[in-house]
Amino acid sequence: MALRARALYDFRSENPGEISLREHEVLSLCSEQDIEGWLEGVNSRGDRGLFPASYVQVLRAPAAEPPPARYANVPAGGFDPLPPPAAFKPAAPEPFAPPAAGCPFPPAPYGGSYQPSQGSDDDWDDDWDDSSTVADEPGALGSSYPDYEAAGGGAASGRYRLSTRSELSLGSRGGGGHLPGHPHPPGGSAAKSSATVSRNLNRFSTFVKSGGEAFVLGEASGFVKDGDKLCVVLGPRGPEWQENPYPFQCSIEDPTKQTKFKGMKSYIAYKLVPSHTGQQVHRRYKHFDWLYGRLAEKFPVISVPHLPEKQATGRFEEDFISKRRKGLAWWMDHMCSHPVLAQCDAFQHFLTCPSTDEKAWKQGKRKAEKDEMVGANFFLTISVPAGPGAGLDLQEVESQVDGFKAFTKKMDESALQLNHTANEFARKQVTGFKKEYQKVGHSFKCLSQAFELDQQAFSAGLNQAIAFTGEAYDAIGDLFADQPRQDLDPVMDLLALYQGHLANFPDIIHVQKGALTKVKESKRHVEEGKMELQKAEGIQERCNIISFATLAEINHFHKIRVRDFKSQMQHFLQQQILFFQKVTQKLEEALHKYDSV
């Protein structure tokens, strides 16, 4: 049958390859399958090209097929699969709001942020040309990634504009730097845990959502394979994650623009070379994001590093690509440095699955999405020091965690301030400092030009020396403008990564605190005769596991923090020294020009 669609709104083509639509106009579709939210078709004027899928309503009979099982990977331990949310009915969508006129990116259908998409293969069809039946569902197609690399950030392109508190809060866990339409909304997990037996009144509490409560109450159960087992050991500074016996690193290089869909849509692929395989793989930002989503769901008390921020405009610009590559490299460094994250199956799949083997990728991806050891069950995989006296002192833990909480608050404040200062300092160097030095350079050049009118042969040397001095100051202005890239940008990259971690910790602390509260409650209940001692001991034992894991995570954070800030401060100072040496050298060159005057 000829595929047709009716335009729901006017759309004005703004880029090559796009076609304009008029409201109510009927179009022929080349394919029903959208690519990142775009469809290809022919409009009533005979123009062929792309337009936003959400701007049109596909004209055909309602699908008879049942919706796919979208929560197939919900862990079995106490979670009843929910019926698919209403938004997933396969009928053509009612867009939630008329799109802004001339908006180059289609609005996210279904109000985006309440649409969980983890585990739904259809999001990936545009990449792997998957021909699953799910992909034939209109409206739902590509719905969670349409404005993926497209949306976010807003107008100003990143660097040296002011960061505000609200921008940073976008980077907090859960919402996690993710915009409407993103696959990791907090509502998603909340819906999952609503089926658990729980005594916590707040259904949206992280303690509940993370599975921490379910675990403490002994409701998590599952078979822990050997490969899934994690150890917390007692190190000199307290509980620590057992070191990765096979540590590795992974480089991220050569971001290259790749095209698809007859060259009309492009994306950037990064070359990853993990040191333990030496085999390069190519990954897109969306692959990183998929992985991030899986890990954030799986590990309730591990701070999964946030990905570098998204950006709407200029995402193919060299600066942005280079900045994102650096951000991803930082992210990768933190992933590889974390004993638990580094060894996690999903991450290993991401690092090692050959880019060309689509089948293997999909298998690994499905496996990760079906992983049962997530949330509450994750805690089952943790083994902690056992035996008499190995249990942690509750008050001691509470004091340590409280201390860490105060620390993170202060560090967050100072990181915010340093980030703001660095951003402003960079901006001043790129604008004001450069301008001031170049104005000095210009004035010297003008003076030398004036002096050239002096008709005095004996002063020609001086005139040239002054002109050279002018050029030196001009060059110094350029050095100032180039410098932030060398020193302040890496500092800000580091701060961004740590701001992500700091945004993760309140939830981690919340889980640990929730567990502690349960222990206290259970003790009271035992005293009041409302609970069996054995049950209360079980709660305390499981809380002990959460405490061990939390302290191990805190220790890991301090370890990498000291490592990172030391090396970054050194790098910053080295670059600053190099910079001032370059400036000095320019001035010395200029000074020597006067020797022969």
- List the one residue from 417, 431, 524, 532 that touches its own copies (CB under 8 A): 417
Sign of CA dihedral 491, 323, 118, 107: positive
Q: Does 114 bind its own copies (CB under 8 A)?
A: no
Q: Does 98 bind its own copies (CB under 8 A)?
A: no
d(CA 179, CA 548): 33
- List the one residue from 425, 494, 536, 540 that touches its own copies (CB under 8 A): 425
Q: How many residues bind its own copies (CB under 8 A)?
A: 63
Q: Does 161 bind its own copies (CB under 8 A)?
A: no
> DSSP secondary structure string, 538-584?
HHHHHHHHHHHHHHHHHHHHHHHHHHHHHHHHHHHHHHHHHHHHHHH
Q: Does 454 bind its own copies (CB under 8 A)?
A: yes
CB of 439 to its own copies, least distance (A): 5
Stretch that binds its own copies, among 8-16, 20-28, 65-73, 439-447 (CB under 8 A): 439-447
- List the one residue from 357, 393, 449, 532 that touches its own copies (CB under 8 A): 449
Nearer to its own copies, 19 or 411 (CB): 411
d(CA 115, CA 185): 7
Nearer to its own copies, 105 or 444 (CB): 444
Cα torsion 538, 543, 548, 553 to 10°: value is 150
Site string for its own copies, 465-484 (x = CB under 8 A): xx--x---------------
CB of 483 to its own copies, least distance (A): 13
Asked whether 95 and 7 are in contact (CB, 8 A), the reply is no
* H-assigned helices in 147-298: 165-169, 186-193, 206-209, 212-216, 285-298
Q: Does 224 bind its own copies (CB under 8 A)?
A: no
Nearer to its own copies, 143 or 555 (CB): 555
Nearer to its own copies, 374 or 466 (CB): 466
Q: Does 485 bind its own copies (CB under 8 A)?
A: no
Q: Taking CA 493 as the corner, what is the angle to CA 490 and CA 498, rounded to the nearest 5 degrees? A: 125
Distant-in-sequence, close-in-space partners of 155: CB < 8 Å, separation ≥ 6: 313
CB of 496 to its own copies, least distance (A): 15
Burial of 251 (0-12, 13-18, 19+ CB in 10 A): middle
- List the one residue from 26, 72, 162, 562 that touches its own copies (CB under 8 A): 562
* H-assigned helices in 358-459: 358-370, 394-428, 434-451
> DSSP secondary structure string, 474-513?
HHHHHHHHHHHHHTHHHHHHHHHHHHHHHHHHHHHHHHHH
CB of 156 to its own copies, least distance (A): 21
Q: Does 162 bind its own copies (CB under 8 A)?
A: no
d(CA 572, CA 492): 11
Q: Does 72 bind its own copies (CB under 8 A)?
A: no
Among positions 186-215, residues that touch its own copies (CB under 8 A) are: none
CB of 330 to its own copies, least distance (A): 18
Nearer to its own copies, 206 or 555 (CB): 555
Q: Does 133 bind its own copies (CB under 8 A)?
A: no
d(CA 264, CA 17): 6
Asked whether 207 and 213 are in contact (CB, 8 A), the reply is yes
Cα-only R_g, the chain: 29
CB of 494 to its own copies, least distance (A): 11
d(CA 539, CA 83): 32
Among positions 374-413, residues that touch its own copies (CB under 8 A) are: 400, 403-404, 406-407, 410-411, 413
Q: Kindly list the distances between the CA atom of residue 497 and the CA atoms of 326, 557, 568, 574, in Å, as whole numbers in the listed order.
A: 11, 12, 13, 21
Q: Does 505 bind its own copies (CB under 8 A)?
A: no
d(CA 327, CA 198): 39
Q: Does 14 bind its own copies (CB under 8 A)?
A: no
Greatest CA separation for the chain: 108
Return residues touching its own copies (CB under 8 A).
237, 400, 403-404, 406-407, 410-411, 413-415, 417-418, 420-422, 424-425, 428, 432-433, 436, 439-440, 442-444, 446-447, 449-451, 453-456, 458-459, 462, 465-466, 469, 558, 561-562, 565-566, 569-570, 573-574, 576-577, 580-581, 583-584, 587-588, 590-591, 594, 597
